[in-house]
Structure 1
């Protein structure tokens, strides 16, 4: 669970996929959850609940950028994919990866390199069977350079045989280590033994896709709800590809449909917290997140629930914009900005939703060593708010650039919370760094993703939720030339540490731990490649009749497979 202190060995075995922010997610895109008691609904409770109207009404704060599992990189997309599709494994109510489309555990070769899965009988939403070829096709498509997947290489390199060679242009994507032996048998060959491999099978990038359907759709694939097939608990409906509302409907073709009680989930994108709260209080929505003044206003409300979170939000400093070097290529400018704003006030006054100031990139209460020590304790606080140090670095940077003033743009979201935070950051930076002018560019989430991919920004407020429970899920982002490193950061020492962490040090847990701590210190407190801002906390209102929603600490944020309505006044 999110607040459990898992020992280091267990955290390796429970590695699973994500957010933001994965995965670059919007800062309040993650919605709400019920308390832990609701996660273990009994059969008797769900049978009673089935007599009531099983409709859940939710708010989302960002549009859906894509429903293509090969292309999705954001929290909204991964969350929805987790509820409308299913891979070989799925996270259960205790957040353990268990067989799903896989009919039980696979057989594994003695050298730990070859896994053979037998698929259960299951269908796509069009009534056709899910086959082993659907997995082979989807995974190879994610590694096909023509697909331009960010997560394919990120999740498969170093895991599946030939994935790294494919990414380096040394092998064809068709040589990826996955093969359908027949309709029900899938053979997967690894690059090296991976202790947490089965857990990865629950992550969105490893979902299946039906080749005939994808090919027939062509460029239209996954651009609207009719252009996707579903094999999970729900199907997506009434999404036109750009709209601000959509539905999830119970999937009558789902192999485990008897355990799905909700018949309908209605989503509306609402970016203003005031509007969201009004929709909740008048009964139109069953959950809403709270920030700022609303978090304080409802602090004592009996329907208030708090949720810790493992997402970190930070400044991305783009060192090369559209092919031209930016002032942020200067390490002193990056250091100055990192130290020039008060994170404590931002978290407690501006956000006021349980978020905490971040002085590191890897979050607290996330990863633990074999003695139960939090990874956060190794480096302690870094890049602390310090106006004097910020000004000294600023003056040095300006002198090196040969200028006396700079104008920089902050790219952020268009939600109410984003705008308030960006205004605060602008005020702090301009006040504490004489000669700095900040312009704000506040855009919808999907637009921000495009600008990020094209490196068309100066400073970006970004967020990352882990894809598996290991600090490497955060640290791997900044490898030179990596798919998520759209800011031209490069450090050979850092790259070597990343190679060692999952290479020569993979089985030496204490040494691996130290190497990860050293890597984090380089990006946060030496190169100032990114500037930590806050670790997200969530505060929200949930109607008491909403039961059984399962929150995940990484991967898709929530599962509604076991959710139900009970005790709602009619």
Structure 2
């Protein structure tokens, strides 16, 4: 049977300026005028969903999480002011909102809703959560998203220039939240559905382990944490105090933590899992051609290697470019990853448009990069750096988190650099939580595997992570001209704003502090008995509309 592949063109046409990919072939949730999800059919089948989460999430705290695995859980246990469902933004905790004529002041009216312990959700819970995330003392890896959102004083707070109390968010009363921006942000409402912007209660988060401790974890989404076993599984159950609980069909979501692809796939084929994203590479071509439960979905993101710019060897731009040009990306996506990924000749993935409707990736060009290896040019650059034929070039290290797919790609690149440049590469893997600490602290030697999934439909979501003060800039890239273009984008509008993004992207690719490998797609297997599931193009599962059928 022909595999279901949702193209970016179809996706963007159908969803206009809101980006989401509905994974379900069965149904899409519909809403009434108040934004409430309409009741679906009832079922006598046990409403238990079993999925493979992969790694044990480092955290389930909305303001501290920066990983996809944690986002899957947070997106289902918490709810922001808005929620993205079926490619549309609908009211979440906000029953309604108003925007000032200049686009700078948003006033949200909260619906009557409760936390999972029965206490009322207040506007002050949002104010506290946002100020907590924007406070440098919290050490949120997503602190820069408040600056990206153009929230008043966020940038100054991040730099320690003003106190976090000056952040442009204020609870006017228990049901009214006011947010003030420095510049209009067309994607701001989308961000209010992002995990970092979800509410938490002040008296709960003092315990660092609260979000993984069932008796302490509080939720305001359709599910709540009922069980957590480190490295094994976590279990979510329906949150009876969720405002839309009567329309949530699932009673339980069992999330196993299986990092071995073969084990995960075996459990799926044996009927012990309903959803699995961790599929052995060797199985993908057959599944793509034959299996109706295998999906290829668009995903706004780029798989790349971050380069440690504090390493003396890697500070030579000719070395960095030689490494980048010596990789055959077509070979990697066709013979290694095999999941429909797209070879990358830049950092900006397909599917993001500029103000004139141009695909940013297409207009930006390829920066002299090739989808296949340019061996002669790579050799010449390495020779110019003082290492003809790789002579005298020290062994370098690629660090990746434990995962069969990352290992296979690293091994392929190791061999390409050996054959094309005559250099030796050491491969090192670390478990996910350790790997995150190592890379976030810039404690890797030369190169580290990295992937970035966009948070909203705008070039800024991909490019601001390379500003010198951004916490996601693990390689510590620092170019004042790049920072300048990104800052100018925040004080510009329309196509003028986009031109600053184009220039920043050009600077990034000329400096080559990263090595792009491919643009992501999502490969996932979902049992046909699961209806109403969704995996959007920024990589988050939504189970609030799922129903298990015969």
2-side partners of 1:541 and 1:336: how far apart? 38
Tell me the equivalent position of 1:356. Answer: 342
SS of the counterpart of 1:378? helix
1-side partners of 2:214 and 2:328: how far apart? 43
Tell me the equivalent position of 2:3. Answer: none
Out of 238, 250, 259, the residue aligned to residue 262 of structure 1 is 250
What's the offset of the Cα at 1:331?
0.6
Does structure 2 conserve the Cα–Cα contact (< 8 Å) formed by 1:7 and 1:369? no
SS of the counterpart of 2:51? strand
Q: 1:160 to 1:15 in 2, by over 3 A?
A: farther
Out of 309, 323, 333, the residue aligned to residue 319 of structure 2 is 333
Out of 79, 83, 103, the residue aligned to residue 112 of structure 1 is 103
Task: Give the 5 Å matches for 1:301-340.
Answer: 301-320=291-310, 325-340=311-326
What's the offset of the Cα at 1:477?
1.0
What's the offset of the Cα at 1:180?
1.6
Tell me the equivalent position of 2:273. Answer: 285
Task: Give the 5 Å matches for 1:39-188.
Answer: 39-40=28-29, 47-93=40-86, 95-104=87-96, 106-156=97-147, 159-188=150-179
- Say whether 1:560 aligns with 2:543: yes
- Say whether 1:496 aligns with 2:484: yes
Does structure 2 conserve the Cα–Cα contact (< 8 Å) formed by 1:123 and 1:255? yes
Q: 1:297 to 1:60 in 2, by over 3 A?
A: same
What's the offset of the Cα at 1:537?
2.3
The alignment's TM-score, normalised by the length of structure 2, stands at 0.91
Q: Which has the higher contact order (CA 8 A, sep 6+)?
A: 1
1-side partners of 2:501 and 2:173: how far apart? 41
Does structure 1 conserve the Cα–Cα contact (< 8 Å) formed by 2:249 and 2:546? yes
What's the offset of the Cα at 1:200?
1.7
Does structure 2 conserve the Cα–Cα contact (< 8 Å) formed by 1:7 and 1:368? no
Does structure 2 conserve the Cα–Cα contact (< 8 Å) formed by 1:273 and 1:291? yes
SS of the counterpart of 1:540? strand
Q: 1:36 to 1:519 in 2, by over 3 A?
A: farther
Q: 1:47 to 1:175 in 2, by over 3 A?
A: closer
Does structure 1 conserve the Cα–Cα contact (< 8 Å) formed by 2:150 and 2:183? yes
Tell me the equivalent position of 2:497. Answer: 512
Task: Give the 5 Å matches for 1:373-522.
Answer: 373-382=358-367, 383-384=369-370, 385-398=373-386, 404-434=392-422, 436-457=423-444, 458-503=446-491, 506-509=492-495, 511-522=496-507
Does structure 1 conserve the Cα–Cα contact (< 8 Å) formed by 2:111 and 2:175? yes
Out of 261, 278, 300, the residue aligned to residue 273 of structure 1 is 261
Q: 1:33 to 1:300 in 2, by over 3 A?
A: farther
Task: Give the 5 Å matches for 1:340-351.
Answer: 340-351=326-337
Q: Tell me how large the CA RMSD over aligned residues is.
A: 2.6
Q: 1:187 to 1:340 in 2, by over 3 A?
A: same
Q: What number of residue pairs does the alignment pair up?
A: 533
Tell me the equivalent position of 1:3. Answer: 8
Q: 1:463 to 1:529 in 2, by over 3 A?
A: same
Does structure 2 conserve the Cα–Cα contact (< 8 Å) formed by 1:87 and 1:101? yes
2-side partners of 1:350 and 1:399: how far apart? 29
SS of the counterpart of 2:190? helix
What's the offset of the Cα at 1:493?
1.7
Q: 1:168 to 1:15 in 2, by over 3 A?
A: farther
The alignment's TM-score, normalised by the length of structure 1, stands at 0.88
Q: 1:378 to 1:45 in 2, by over 3 A?
A: closer
Unaligned runs of 5+ in 1: 17-31
Q: 1:254 to 1:543 in 2, by over 3 A?
A: same
Q: 1:109 to 1:193 in 2, by over 3 A?
A: same
1-side partners of 2:204 and 2:490: how far apart? 37
